Amino acid sequence: MAQVDLEQIAGEGNVWVLLLVQGIVAAVIGTLLLAAPKTALTLFALILGIYWIITGFLSILMIAGDRTMWGWKLFIGILSILAGFVAVTSPLWASAAVLLVMMIFLGVGAIIQGGAEIFRAFKGGGWGQGLIGALNLFVGILIVVNLGAAVVVAPFVYGIIMLGFGLAAIIMAFRVRKSSGPSATAAAA
C-alpha cells in the first residue's frame, strides 16, 4: 500500500522537491529547538508577534469594507496588535506564555481523552484501549501537575519530533524521486 501512495505522489511531477524542502525546514527547526531552545522560542515569539500585529491591523482595516460585527473586528484587531506588541518587545516572556497555554491545553486534552478511552474500554473496547486511556490520563495529569517542568521539556520534545519528521520527509522525498523514474529527475534539473 505504501508503494501505491508513493506512485500517486510521484505521478504529480516534482512533488518530491516540496517534500524535501519541508523535511529540511523541519529538520532545521528541530535541530534549533534541541541545540538552542531559548533562541528558537524567541524567534518563534518574534514571528508570531509580527503576525499578530499585521493581522490586527488587517482586522481593523476590514471594518471599512464590511461593517458587520465591526465592534468584534475592532476588539480582535486591538487585542492582536497589543499581543503582537508584547510578543515583539518581550519575546522570551511571550514564548513562555504561549508554551504554558499549549501545555495546559495538551494536559487537559490528554486527561479528557484518557478518561474517554477508559470509559470505552469498560464498554467493550478491550484492555488495550483501557491501557492507552490510562497512559493518556497519567501523562495529562503529569503535565498539569508539573506545568513548569512541561514548559522546560517541551522544546526538546518538539525538537525531537520535528527532527524525526524532517529526516523522515527527506528520506521520503528521495524515495518519491527514485520511484518517479528518470523523467521526473530530468525535469527537475
pLDDT tens-digit profile of 143-155? 999 999 998 899 9
The pLDDT of residue 1 is 41
- What is the sign of the dihedral through the CA atoms of 36, 39, 42 and 46? negative
pLDDT-derived band at 101, boundaries 50, 70, 90: very high
Asked whether the predicted pLDDT for residue 7 surpasses 60, the reply is no
Asked whether the predicted pLDDT for residue 90 surpasses 90, the reply is yes
The pLDDT of residue 180 is 75
C-alpha grid cell, residue 89: 518587545
Percent of the chain with pLDDT over 70: 88
**DSSP sequence for 25-87:** HHHHHHHHHHH-HHHHHHHHHHHHHHHHHHHHHHHHHHHHH--TTHHHHHHHHHHHHHHHHHH
pLDDT-derived band at 174, boundaries 50, 70, 90: very high
C-alpha grid cell, residue 114: 484518557
Question: What pLDDT, in 10s, does the model give residues 19-58?
Answer: 999 999 999 999 999 999 999 989 989 999 999 999 999 9
The pLDDT of residue 98 is 87
The continuous run of DSSP H or E covering 154 comes out as: helix 147-179
Residue type, 148: G
Measured distance CA(177)–CA(123) in Å, rounded? 47
pTM of the model: 0.65
What's the mean per-residue pLDDT of the chain? Answer: 88
Q: What are the extents of the domains in the chain? A: 2-179
